[in-house]
């Protein structure tokens, strides 16, 4: 769709006040780790923007990423994003099907050339000429190349699109690759996670809308606002880690006391994501708070890291690697307790756990 009106004009007609924009902007500034004073500029930026055309391509995926972004809640400030974008193509959500669906994609590409955003979930199979996943008679590779040609930017959502994910896990039977292996001439923003946190997806789109530019990214093309810190850095169980107090199994006294889950396989020390701060289901909880270690789902190759329930050092075969990294991170809390924790982990490793 190519609506000439600005979002401000469109939503004013529907009775949405500028205060509501400002509230949304405060929420966006907060989740993007921008200063609260940036809210006024964000609100103005969104009000002046046109409704953003989004073409969403789903390849080798499970639809969990779509489930995440469309999570069912009461109508609220978080849902305003769906007024700000025009979702012009999405297999699961659009009414049209077959030729009509493909025509909608072509029309959006023509009308918004150079301005539309392509969101991709799922990896792309390359083996055997890509025949393992086709849509509308063409391979995922063909559809991706055709669609990104005139895009403003590409957002890869979910670990399959960003790093290959489960389809790309060993032995990778379809030759699945992430989007960055194919799209090299456009900005590609990676929002990893299996699924990604909804706020990471909507916050990034809101940032693009308000500032017309790409947010600051890490070395894996992920927005630093969401992927700048390890789960371990913001985990509320961290003081137990520092004191060397670890649950040894999911039903022992340590687990009941809420101790650190490192020894039952938590990948928090090497996983960069915002689960510990933004949490899930509208801020209700996150895996570690629910008693399960982090699976590391937002990191490359998480499926092949050696076992969800094995401690990191055991899984990687290098006991000191994570212990050293964690000790450095924990220096502010106390070097002595970190050394104690390291010794404790090494002891457990030696015992063959």
Does position 235 interact with ligand SF4 (CB under 6 A)? The reply is yes
Q: Which does 187 bind (CB under 5 to 8 A by kind): ligand SF4, another protein, none?
A: none
Q: Which does 239 bind (CB under 5 to 8 A by kind): another protein, ligand SF4, none?
A: another protein
Give how many residues touch ligand SF4 by CB under 6 A.
15
Nearest approach, Cβ of 71 to another protein (angstroms)?
9
Stretch that binds ligand SF4, among 121-129, 178-186, 288-296, 336-344 (CB under 6 A): 288-296
Stretch that binds another protein, among 55-63, 76-84, 154-162, 332-340 (CB under 8 A): 76-84
Nearest approach, Cβ of 234 to ligand SF4 (angstroms)?
8
Q: Which does 154 bind (CB under 5 to 8 A by kind): another protein, ligand SF4, none?
A: none
Site residues (CB under 8 A) for another protein, limited to 195-254 = 234, 236-237, 239
Pick from 251, 213, 260: nearest CA to 117: 213
Nearest approach, Cβ of 170 to ligand SF4 (angstroms)?
25
Pick from 293, 303, 304: nearest CA to 264: 293
* Cα within 13 Å of Cα(24), Cβ side: 29
Q: If DSSP codes are grouped into helix, strand and coil, which group holds residue 121? A: strand
Pick from 199, 339, 333: nearest CA to 277: 199
Pick from 147, 175, 177: nearest CA to 160: 177
Does position 75 interact with another protein (CB under 8 A)? The reply is yes
**Given its phi and psi angles, is residue 96 left (phi above 0), alpha (psi -120 to 50 degrees) or beta?**
beta
Q: Of 175, 228, 258, 324, which one interacts with another protein (CB under 8 A)?
A: 258
Does position 269 interact with ligand SF4 (CB under 6 A)? The reply is yes
Distance separating alpha carbons of residues 276 and 289, to the nearest angstrom:
8
Distance separating alpha carbons of residues 327 and 323, to the nearest angstrom:
6
CA 300, chain centre distance (Å): 12
Residue 57, burial from CB neighbour count under 10 angstroms (0-12, 13-18, 19+): buried
Does position 342 interact with ligand SF4 (CB under 6 A)? The reply is no
Does position 287 interact with ligand SF4 (CB under 6 A)? The reply is no
Q: Of 1, 113, 136, 282, which one interacts with another protein (CB under 8 A)?
A: 282
- Whether 132 and 174 have beta carbons less than 8 Å apart is answered as yes
Nearest approach, Cβ of 151 to another protein (angstroms)?
30
Nearest approach, Cβ of 341 to another protein (angstroms)?
17
Does position 168 interact with ligand SF4 (CB under 6 A)? The reply is no
Number of neighbouring beta carbons within 10 Å of residue 231: 26
CA 315, chain centre distance (Å): 24
**Residue recorded with tokens 């991170």:** 329
Contacts of 186 (CB under 8 A, 6+ apart): 148, 151, 153, 154
Q: Of 110, 213, 257, 343, which one interacts with another protein (CB under 8 A)?
A: 257
Residues binding ligand SF4 (CB under 6 A)? 231-232, 235, 237-238, 241, 260-262, 266, 268-269, 288, 293-294
Residues binding another protein (CB under 8 A)? 8, 12, 17-20, 22-24, 26-27, 29-31, 33, 35-37, 39-40, 47, 73-80, 234, 236-237, 239, 256-258, 277, 282-285, 289-291
């Amino acid at each position: 769709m190519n609506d000439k009106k600005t979002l401000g004009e469109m939503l004013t007609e529907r009775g949405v006040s500028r205060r509501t924009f400002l509230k949304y902007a405060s929420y966006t500034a907060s989740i993007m780790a921008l200063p609260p004073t940036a809210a006024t500029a964000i609100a103005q930026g969104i009000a002046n923007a046109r409704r953003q055309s989004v073409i969403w391509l789903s390849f080798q995926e499970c639809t969990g990423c779509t489930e995440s972004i469309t999570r069912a809640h009461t109508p609220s400030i978080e849902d305003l994003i769906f007024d700000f974008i025009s979702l012009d193509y999405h297999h699961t959500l659009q009414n049209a099907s077959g030729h009509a669906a493909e025509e909608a994609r072509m029309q959006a590409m023509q009308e918004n050339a150079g301005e539309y955003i392509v969101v991709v979930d799922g990896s792309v199979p390359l083996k055997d000429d890509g025949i393992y996943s086709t849509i509308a008679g063409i391979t995922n590779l063909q559809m991706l190349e055709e669609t990104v040609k005139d895009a403003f930017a590409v957002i890869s959502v979910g670990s399959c699109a960003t790093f290959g994910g489960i389809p790309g896990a060993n032995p990778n039977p379809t030759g699945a690759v992430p989007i960055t292996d194919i799209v090299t001439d456009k900005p590609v923003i990676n929002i990893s996670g299996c699924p990604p946190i909804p706020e990471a997806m909507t916050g990034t789109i809101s940032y693009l809308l308000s500032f017309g530019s790409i947010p600051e990214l890490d070395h894996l093309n992920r927005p630093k606002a969401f992927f700048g810190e390890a789960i371990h850095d913001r985990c509320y169980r961290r003081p137990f880690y520092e004191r060397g107090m670890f649950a040894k199994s999911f039903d022992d006294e340590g687990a009941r006391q809420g101790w650190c889950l490192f020894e039952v396989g938590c990948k928090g020390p090497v996983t960069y994501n915002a689960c510990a701060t933004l949490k899930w289901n509208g801020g209700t909880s996150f895996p570690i708070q629910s008693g399960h270690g982090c699976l590391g789902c937002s990191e490359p190759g998480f499926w092949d890291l050696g076992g969800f329930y094995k401690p990191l050092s055991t899984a990687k075969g290098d006991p000191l690697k994570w212990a050293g990294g964690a000790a450095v991170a924990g220096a502010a809390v106390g070097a002595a307790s970190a050394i104690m924790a390291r010794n404790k982990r090494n002891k457990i490793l030696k015992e063959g756990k």
